[in-house]
């Protein structure tokens, strides 16, 4: 089969101009999912995909949902390898403010820049360009070998940029046809221009709002200051108590289920040469804060956190008002890792707060979501096979990495379909996704296609 992959890669290289033309065709469709005025365009993009996938010989269809359609295609039924579910999305972000774009966002162009050639258009990176790396890899496989090396289902969403309202019901209603051995998700990035990555750890999130109620109304701080309790002071104490001097979260049981990094993963991460100074420097910071004794990368990818996302009390306008506020509130969120249990943590956090609410105050809690971390079973041989395949394509070896934020689809695949996901993508930090002048490096597109071809081959053998 080694000869097999070489021929596929050659085919990809030869076909690159046509691959680009096809991507440009798709980029010309302004499939902005959040804007009802663009609903027909989203639908047109779905039709375009069904046509392309059918043209490859896949059994493609457009499934209606409560919102924008899901494009689904099956192929490789006769393949001996594992069954893979590929996910990407064909909808895009809005383009406002339009005057900050150098050219029309839906008129894609290949541009020469100091950093190489880039594809400039809305959706070039997020996520049409990424999605097409996979479809073009399939095309090359089919062209060279007449068949796919694995059984494959594609599931292409049209609502990712508007909160995926139909996704969970769709997955639940189509459990049987979508369940596979492993999911591939192409909506993430490279570690850096040289180094590909498979995201295997995604932090979960617990959101809470606490409202401390004190006096029945705002009071005059002259008339009542002293004997009347001040809810802002109570809240400040609670928020300050959430961390100890080492930067660790003090909520009882918080670190239950937080694993230490394995030696293997730590070695991989150390080998990445992550530049914490540059990372923080981009946002005006110089000194890693957070838990003492942890590296910045370790903290973002593998350590849980507690953050104050917002707080408000009393008078916050211009000037001054000597008010003693009747209430004070804060939004607090926890990023979760490993097997931290969001429901148990919510209860523990609320107990933590309640024990700090003094006489004459009352605390109200608002719930703002809870999802556990997604930690992939990298012991599955497909992970190591894909890592080796990526390492062959790119200048530096691929790494299993973490992600500080959540990618809900990976959680849904796990909870609804019982599958782990390999999150592999070729976007770069400077792709300006969700912003004007979005781009995708031609190198990301070209090597991305080649990467998927190699991964399909490697995974077919596990």
Q: State which of positions 152-171 bind its own copies (CB under 8 A).
A: none
CB atoms under 10 Å from CB of 307, counted, come to 11
Residue with tokens 């798709």: 26
For its own copies, give the closer residue by CB, 146 or 222.
Answer: 222
Termini Cα distance of the chain: 13
Residue 246 CB, shortest distance to its own copies, in Å, is 13
Pick the piece of the chain touching its own copies (CB under 8 A) from 76-84, 86-94, 141-149, 403-411. Answer: 403-411
Residue 182 CB, shortest distance to its own copies, in Å, is 24
310 belongs to the binding site for its own copies (CB under 8 A): yes
For its own copies, give the closer residue by CB, 155 or 324.
Answer: 324
Which of 113, 177, 262, 309 lies at the binding interface for its own copies (CB under 8 A)? Answer: 309
CB atoms under 10 Å from CB of 226, counted, come to 9
Pick the piece of the chain touching its own copies (CB under 8 A) from 66-74, 106-114, 156-164, 299-307. Answer: 299-307
For its own copies, give the closer residue by CB, 186 or 232.
Answer: 232
240 belongs to the binding site for its own copies (CB under 8 A): yes
**How remote is the C-alpha of 85 from its chain's centroid?**
17
The answer, yes or no, to whether the previous bond of 97 is cis (omega within 30 of 0) is yes
219 belongs to the binding site for its own copies (CB under 8 A): yes
User: Which structure tokens are listed for 227?
Assistant: 């004997």
Pick the piece of the chain touching its own copies (CB under 8 A) from 18-26, 30-38, 284-292, 413-421. Answer: 284-292
115 belongs to the binding site for its own copies (CB under 8 A): no
The DSSP symbol for 244 reads -
Distance CA 27, CA 443 (A): 18
* Cα–Cα nearest to 27, from 12, 13, 6, 48: 48
Distance CA 323, CA 448 (A): 59
Residue 123, by phi and psi: left (phi above 0), alpha (psi -120 to 50) or beta?
left
Q: Interaction with its own copies in 244-283: which residues (CB under 8 A)?
A: 276, 279-280, 283
Residue 119 CB, shortest distance to its own copies, in Å, is 24
232 belongs to the binding site for its own copies (CB under 8 A): yes
360 belongs to the binding site for its own copies (CB under 8 A): yes
């Amino acid at each position: 089969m080694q000869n097999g992959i070489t021929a596929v890669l050659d085919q990809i290289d030869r076909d690159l101009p046509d691959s680009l033309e096809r991507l440009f065709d798709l980029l010309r469709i302004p499939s902005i999912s959040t804007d009802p005025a663009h609903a027909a365009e989203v639908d047109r993009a779905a039709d375009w995909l069904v046509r392309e996938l059918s043209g490859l010989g896949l059994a493609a269809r457009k499934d209606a949902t409560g919102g924008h359609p899901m494009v689904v295609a099956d192929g490789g039924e006769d393949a001996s390898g594992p069954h893979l579910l590929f996910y990407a999305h064909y909808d895009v972000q809005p383009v406002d403010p339009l005057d900050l774009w150098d050219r029309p966002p839906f008129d894609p162009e290949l541009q020469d820049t100091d950093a190489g050639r880039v594809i400039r258009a809305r959706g070039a990176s997020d996520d049409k360009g990424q999605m097409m790396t996979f479809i073009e890899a399939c095309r090359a496989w089919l062209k060279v070998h007449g068949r796919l090396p694995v059984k494959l289902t594609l599931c292409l969403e049209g609502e990712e940029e508007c909160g995926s309202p139909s996704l969970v019901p769709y997955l639940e209603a189509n459990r049987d046809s979508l369940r596979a051995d492993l999911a591939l998700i192409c909506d993430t990035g490279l570690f850096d221009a040289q180094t590909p990555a498979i995201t295997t750890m995604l932090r979960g999130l617990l959101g809470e709002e606490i409202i401390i109620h004190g006096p029945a109304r705002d009071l005059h701080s002259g008339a009542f200051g002293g004997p009347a309790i001040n809810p802002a002071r109570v809240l400040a104490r609670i928020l300050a108590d959430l961390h100890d001097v080492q930067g660790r979260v003090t909520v009882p049981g918080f670190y239950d289920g937080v694993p230490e990094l394995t030696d293997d993963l730590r070695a991989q991460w150390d080998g990445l040469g992550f530049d914490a100074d540059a990372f923080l420097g981009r946002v005006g910071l110089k000194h890693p804060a957070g838990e003492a004794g942890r590296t910045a990368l370790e903290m973002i990818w593998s350590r849980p956190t507690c953050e104050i996302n917002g707080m408000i009390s009393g008078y916050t306008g211009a000037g001054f008002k000597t008010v003693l506020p009747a209430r004070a509130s804060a939004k607090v969120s926890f990023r979760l890792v490993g097997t931290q249990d969001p429901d148990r943590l919510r209860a523990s956090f609320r107990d933590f707060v309640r024990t700090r609410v003094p006489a004459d105050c009352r605390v109200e809690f608002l719930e703002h979501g809870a999802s556990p971390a997604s930690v992939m079973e990298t012991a599955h041989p497909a992970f190591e096979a894909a890592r080796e395949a990526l390492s062959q394509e790119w200048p530096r070896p691929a790494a299993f990495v973490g992600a500080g934020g959540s990618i809900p689809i990976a959680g849904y695949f796990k909870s609804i379909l019982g599958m782990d996901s390999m999150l592999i993508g070729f976007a770069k930090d400077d792709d300006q996704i969700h912003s004007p002048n979005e781009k995708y490096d031609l190198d990301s597109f070209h090597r991305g296609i080649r990467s998927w071809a190699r991964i399909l081959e490697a995974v077919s053998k596990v």
